[in-house]
Amino acid sequence: MKILVILIVLSLSFYVYYKIKYVRSKRPMERKLLNGKSGMALGLFVALFGLNQLFLYDTTTTYIVAIIFILLGGLNAWVGFKTYLHHIPYAVREAEEIARQ
């Protein structure tokens, strides 16, 4: 399952990238937009990590923990996506106001 490992590393990399951009940003709506993107990346990381555990070990405990990780990761990615969609118009308006100044 090399593809899962690659996707896990990529999602963790995107999470760190968006968190660094979040810290460096000065605009409040852009920060909320970046927070949504980082939430999606973190949720994807957790869900993929749980999915990877299903292929590595074959115990009941692993299945329970993996299912919890997949559910929590999916929920976190979904909330991050909803946050991202909600803040897009506000971030665009904020960028347009700054461009006019």
Whole-number pLDDT of residue 40: 97
Task: State pLDDT tens for residues 16-63.
Answer: 999 999 999 999 999 999 999 999 999 999 999 999 999 998 899 999
What pTM was estimated for this model as a whole?
A: 0.90
Task: State pLDDT tens for residues 73-90.
Answer: 999 999 999 999 999 999
Whole-number pLDDT of residue 57: 87
Q: What is the DSSP string of 34-93?
A: HHHHHHHHHHHHHHHHHHHHHHH--SHHHHHHHHHHHHHHHHHHHHHHHHHHHHHHHHHH
Whole-number pLDDT of residue 41: 97
Of 35, 45, 46, nearest to 82 by C-alpha is 35
Please determine, for residue 93, whether its predicted confidence score (pLDDT) is greater than 90: yes
Please tell me whether residue 51 adopts helix, strand or coil conformation: helix
Whole-number pLDDT of residue 101: 82
For the chain, the domains span 2-100
The token pair at 101 is 């100044």
Residues 6+ apart with CB under 8 A from 52: 1, 4, 5, 8
